[in-house]
């Protein structure tokens, strides 16, 4: 039986063209001019993408989820994880943010991590999230049917937590099921990666009742609350915004490098030691 | 469209079950009905995806109760060994409302894989695999090195799903900094393709009203051609419009990048007189005809096959590096 062999040492090394690119690089993006959008703008942008630009939610969720996974992997390489072979807890809320989390979990599994999903409530987007969660199941991702009651249980079992509970549509306060989840997560000492908006925060302001993530992955454009983000790494993902939409909302965003689906937003103070590991690039 | 219905059933009949494109499965298993128990979403019934056939909604999705944490079983083995009437195994995408590229005609190497895809991954994977195509292209032909027309790329989209793939690919290419122009003469009259077209228009991609017949014009105006005319399920004859396009493309010196199968090739045997692309990006697994690919770059995209399936069908797929959505395959041709 013929096999196609993998040539990892092909003549054209991946990324070799980038050397030339750096020589001709455009002036670096000035992050003090970075745009942050309001909750209202975020909703309008989303609405336009779905109507005038004829995208559908599934496409956007997929691209957002993939970017979240890539950014997480860049900042927390699986080889460096100490517990249980790359075990990660992915917490998914009832709406779009939760949907992004499910996609993210799936990609993280393909990247070699071992995600466990917590997905207790699927209210707004039942049909879409049905299929997303089934996809996770078929990749053998376990689903927790109750949230660990104490933070030490989480930090003993997992290397990091992906927070996909609430997104830009959320308005405090947190209710019901999720109130205790967030309380517990606030006490964990392992890193938290939040998708788009740290859960418990509104889109426009931080909240002491919400989470303090180490990595924030802004989708499409950073929300205003990201100005108050105190963590280590801030990435932009969800590379699907058409130029005309960017112009309409006057978005000043750094260019994505080459074909990458994420770009680091250098808004956080970081030392050399903390810089994410760009493996393979 | 009835054409597509016929096409697909022909290819189902025509392809021995268990053939894996490049990696034939000796057992010739009959086509399993994997998705029989998979719940269906309401919106999936609205006919957006044309010729698919749907199953009744199951109770599987009906709430996981609170209780002890559980682990999902391994992907069900039991269904895969049943002998099933092939006519009952038309499992298409059951999992999304999506208006993504359906690829239901472009059976990826074989019907069983389609079912696998339809069962658990849905359209999302096609979105990602199309991202893969564009990334692969970006790796091989970095935009800053293209000489004609500021990264101008001519994307030729056929009348079926391969054409839909081309539309998605073009959109990503635009985001990556290329300047794609689309040739899309036969858009199927379906919301899916309407939306994909609209997305391209929203990205300011021009659509040619006719195909340039002059080889020189193409060579001068574009640095690359993306061939998204016909895919796996292509059955001759080619209608005259597209025959002319393929003839012209055979003569251009501009590098051609083919999506999944070089257009017009027989999926098993290729076509020595057909298009000779320089870059081929295979979806999920290479098709048998890829053995006859003589171009420079062969990539694999569509990083979504769960390991259980890979093992089950003995797909010898290379690992994807890190977080990449494409992996380069050795062609021995460069």
Q: Is the pLDDT of residue B66 over 90?
A: no
Q: Which CATH superfamily is domain A34-266 in?
A: YjeF N-terminal domain (3.40.50.10260)
d(CA A149, CA B290): 53
Mean pLDDT lowest for which of A130-144, B133-147, B205-219? B133-147
> Which residues from chain B sit within 8 angstroms of residue A47, using beta carbons?
none
Q: Inter-chain contact A142–B70, Cβ cutoff 8 Å?
A: yes
Residue set of the binding site of B for Na(+): 132, 135, 139
* Number of structural domains chain B divides into: 1
Is B308 in contact with A140 (Cβ distance < 8 A)?
yes
pLDDT given at position A92: 95
- From chain B, pick out residues whose CB is under 8 angstroms from the CB of A103: 124
Separation between Cα atoms, residue A168 and residue A46, nearest integer Å: 11
Q: Cis link prior to B237 (omega < 30° from 0)?
A: yes
pLDDT in tens, A155-164: 999 999 999 9
In 3D space, the residue among A65, A77, A106 whose CA is nearest the CA of residue A280 turns out to be A77
Question: What CA–CA distance (Å, rounded) separates A130 from B70?
Answer: 18
Distance CA A104, CA B300 (A): 21
Q: Where are the alpha helices (DSSP H) in B176-301?
A: 191-202, 215-221, 240-251
Residue B35 has pLDDT above 70, yes or no: no
Mean pLDDT computed over B54-78: 30
Contact B118, B51 (CB under 8 A): no
Kindly determine whether residue B145 and residue A17, on different chains, have CB atoms separated by under 8 Å.
yes
Residue B232, domain member (yes or no):
yes
- Taking CB atoms and an 8 Å limit, are A58 and B203 in contact across chains? no
Q: Is the pTM of this model over 0.90?
A: no
In the structure encoding, which two tokens stand for residue A136, read together? Answer: 């996770």
A9: contact with B, CB 8 A cutoff: no
Burial of B162: CB neighbours in 10 Å, binned 0-12, 13-18, 19+ = buried
Chain A residues whose CB is inside 8 A of the B330 CB are 4-7, 10
Indicate yes or no: CB of A142 within 8 angstroms of CB of B286: no
Residue B99 distance to chain A (closest CA, Å)? 7
Average confidence (pLDDT) over B140-169:
88
Q: How confident is the model at residue A17 (pLDDT cuts 50, 70, 90)?
A: low
CA distance to partner chain A, nearest, from residue B314 (Å): 11
CB-CB under 8 Å, A239 with B175: yes
Closest CA to A36 of A279, A175, A185, A229: A229
| ipTM over 0.85 threshold | no
Q: Residue B138: give the domain boundaries.
A: 125-329
- Choose the mutation target among A1, A4, A123, A140 for the interface with B, i.e. most B CBs under 10 Å: A4
Chain B residues in contact with A67 by the CB 8 A cut-off are none
**Cβ within 8 Å, pair A145-B304:** no
Has residue A133 got a pLDDT over 80? Answer: yes
Residue B128 has what pLDDT?
64
Contacts of B311 in chain A (CB under 8 A): none
A71 CA: distance to closest CA in chain B (Å): 9
A50 to chain B, any CB pair closer than 8 A? The answer is: no
- Chain B residue numbers with beta carbons less than 8 Å from the beta carbon of A52 are 202
The rounded distance, in Å, linking the Cα atoms of B205 and B164 is: 15
Contact B121, B94 (CB under 8 A): no
What integer best gives the mean pLDDT of chain B?
Answer: 68
| Res B116 pLDDT > 90 | no
> Which of A52, A94, A138 would best serve as a mutation to test chain B binding (most B beta carbons within 10 A)?
A138
8 A C-beta contact, residue B302 and residue B126: yes
% of chain B at pLDDT higher than 70: 59
CB pair distance less than 8 Å for A59 and B100: yes
Distance between A275 CA and the closest CA of chain B, angstroms: 18
Mutation pick from A235, A259, A279, A280 vs chain B, by most beta carbons of B within 10 Å, is A259
| Confidence band of B218 (pLDDT split at 50, 70, 90) | very high
List of chain B residues whose C-beta atoms are within 8 Å of the C-beta of residue A256: 175
Domain definitions of chain A by residue range: 34-266
- Residues of chain A neighbouring B138 (CB-CB closer than 8 A): 258-259
Question: DSSP string of B274-308?
Answer: S---SEEEEESS--GGGGG--SSEEEEE-----HH
Per-residue pLDDT, averaged over A124-134, amounts to 80
User: A171, exposed or middle or buried, with CB in 10 Å at 0-12, 13-18, 19+?
Assistant: exposed
Question: Lowest mean pLDDT: which of A93-102, B39-48, B198-207?
Answer: B39-48
> Do B71 and A3 make contact, defined as CB atoms within 8 angstroms?
no
Please check whether residue B126 is in contact with residue B68, taking contact to mean a CB–CB distance below 8 angstroms: no
A222: helix, coil or strand? coil
Per-residue pLDDT tens for A161-194?
999 999 999 988 888 889 999 999 999 999 999 9
| 8 A C-beta contact, residue A211 and residue A199 | yes
B127: nearest CB among A20, A24, A62: A62
**A189 touching B (Cβ < 8 Å):** no
d(CA A197, CA A220): 12
Closest CA to B95 of A51, A102, A112, A220: A102
More confident residue, A86 or A7: A86
Q: List the beta bridge partners of residue B226.
A: B155, B257
Q: What pLDDT shows up at residue A127?
A: 80
Q: Which two tokens stand for residue A50?
A: 């779905």
Which residues does chain A have within 8 Å of residue B291's beta carbon, measured at their own beta carbons? Answer: 2
Say yes or no for a CB contact (<8 Å) between A56 and B135: no
Q: If you measure CA to CA, which chain B residue comes closest to A240?
A: B175
pLDDT of B86 over the 60 cut: no
Domain assignment of residue B322, yes or no: yes
- Cβ proximity of A231 and A213 under 8 Å: yes
| Minimum mean pLDDT range among A10-19, B64-73, B107-116, B156-165 | B64-73
Of A17, A137, A242, the CB nearest to B203: A242
For chains A and B, count residue pairs whose Cβ atoms are closer than 8 Å. 186
| Banded pLDDT at B60 (limits 50, 70, 90) | very low
Q: Identify whether B56 is part of a domain.
A: no
Burial environment of residue B296 by CB neighbours within 10 A (0 to 12, 13 to 18, 19 or more): middle
Q: Among all chains, which residue has been given the structure tokens 């998979």?
A: B38
Which residues 96-115 of chain A have a CB within 8 Å of chain B? Answer: 103, 107, 110-111
Write the residue in A6, A128, A145 that is nearest to B329 by C-beta. Answer: A6
Contact between residue B88 and residue B67 where contact means Cβ atoms under 8 Å apart: no
Residues 6+ apart with CB under 8 A from B69: A142, A143, A144, A145, A146
Give chain A positions within 8 Å (CB) of B58.
Answer: none
Sign of the Cα torsion B67, B68, B74, B80 reads negative
Residue B123 pLDDT > 70 = no
CB contact under 8 A, B323 and A14: no
Q: Taking Cα atoms as reference points, which of A198, A196, A111, A194 lies closest to residue A160?
A: A194
Contact between A135 and B95 using a beta-carbon 8 Å cutoff: yes
Measured CA to CA, the distance from residue B83 to residue B32 in angstroms comes to 7
Q: Which of B41, B35, B308, B127 is nearest to A141 (CA)?
A: B308
Which residues of B are annotated as part of the binding site?
A: 132, 135, 139
Residue A274 confidence (pLDDT):
53
């Amino acid at each position: 039986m013929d096999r196609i062999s993998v040539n990892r040492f092909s003549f054209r090394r991946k990324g070799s063209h980038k050397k030339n690119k750096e020589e001709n690089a455009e002036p670096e993006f000035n992050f003090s001019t970075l745009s942050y959008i309001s909750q209202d703008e975020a909703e309008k942008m989303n609405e336009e993408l779905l109507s005038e630009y004829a995208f559908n939610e599934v496409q956007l969720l997929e691209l957002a989820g993939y970017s979240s996974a890539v950014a997480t992997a860049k900042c927390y390489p699986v080889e460096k994880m100490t517990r249980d072979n790359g075990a990660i807890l992915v917490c998914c809320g009832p709406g779009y943010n939760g949907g992004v989390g499910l996609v993210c979990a799936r990609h993280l599994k393909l990247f070699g991590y071992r995600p466990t999903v917590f997905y207790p409530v699927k209210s707004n987007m039942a049909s879409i999230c049905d299929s997303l969660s089934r996809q996770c199941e078929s990749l053998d991702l376990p689903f927790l049917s109750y949230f660990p009651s104490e933070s030490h249980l989480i930090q003993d079992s997992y290397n990091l937590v992906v927070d996909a509970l609430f997104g830009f549509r959320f308005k405090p306060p947190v209710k019901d099921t999720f109130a205790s989840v967030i309380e517990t997560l606030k006490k964990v000492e392992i890193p938290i990666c939040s998708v788009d908006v740290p859960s418990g925060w509104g889109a426009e302001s931080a909240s002491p009742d919400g989470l303090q993530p180490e990595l924030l992955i802004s989708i499409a454009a950073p929300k205003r609350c990201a100005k108050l983000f105190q963590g280590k790494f801030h990435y932009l993902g969800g590379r699907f915004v058409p130029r005309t939409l960017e112009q309409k909302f006057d978005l000043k965003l750094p260019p994505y490098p080459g074909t990458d689906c994420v770009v680091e937003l250098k808004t956080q103070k970081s030392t050399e030691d903390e810089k994410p590991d760009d493996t393979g690039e | 469209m009835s054409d597509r219905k016929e096409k697909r059933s022909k290819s189902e009949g025509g392809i021995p079950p268990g053939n894996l494109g490049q990696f034939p499965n000796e057992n010739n298993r009959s086509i399993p009905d994997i998705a029989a128990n998979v719940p269906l979403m309401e919106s999936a019934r609205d006919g957006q995806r044309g010729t698919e056939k749907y199953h009744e909604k199951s109770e599987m999705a009906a709430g996981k109760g609170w209780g002890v944490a559980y682990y999902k079983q391994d992907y069900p083995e039991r269904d895969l060994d049943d002998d099933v009437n092939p006519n009952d195994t038309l499992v298409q995408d059951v999992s999304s409302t999506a208006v993504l590229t359906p690829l239901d005609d472009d059976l990826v190497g074989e019907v069983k894989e389609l079912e696998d895809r339809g069962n658990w991954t849905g359209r999302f994977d096609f979105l990602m695999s199309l991202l893969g195509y564009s990334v692969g292209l970006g790796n091989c032909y970095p935009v800053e090195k293209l000489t004609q027309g500021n990264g101008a790329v001519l994307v030729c989209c056929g009348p079926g799903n391969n054409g839909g793939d081309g539309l998605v690919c073009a959109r990503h290419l635009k985001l990556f900094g290329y300047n794609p122009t689309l040739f899309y003469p036969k858009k199927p009259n379906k919301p899916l393709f309407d939306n994909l077209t609209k997305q391209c228009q929203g990205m300011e991609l021009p659509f040619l009203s006719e195909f340039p017949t002059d080889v020189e014009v193409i060579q001068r105006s574009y640095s690359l051609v993306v061939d998204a005319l016909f895919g796996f399920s292509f059955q001759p004859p080619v209608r005259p419009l597209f025959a002319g396009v393929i003839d012209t493309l055979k003569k251009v010196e501009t590098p051609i990048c083919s999506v999944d199968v070089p257009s017009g090739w027989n999926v098993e045997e290729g076509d020595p007189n057909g298009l000779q692309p320089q870059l081929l990006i295979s979806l999920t697994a290479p098709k048998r005809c890829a053995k006859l690919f003589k171009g420079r770059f062969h990539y694999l995209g569509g990083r979504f096959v769960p390991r259980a399936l890979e093992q089950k069908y003995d797909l010898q797929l290379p690992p994807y590096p890190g977080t990449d959505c494409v992996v380069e395959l050795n062609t021995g041709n460069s």
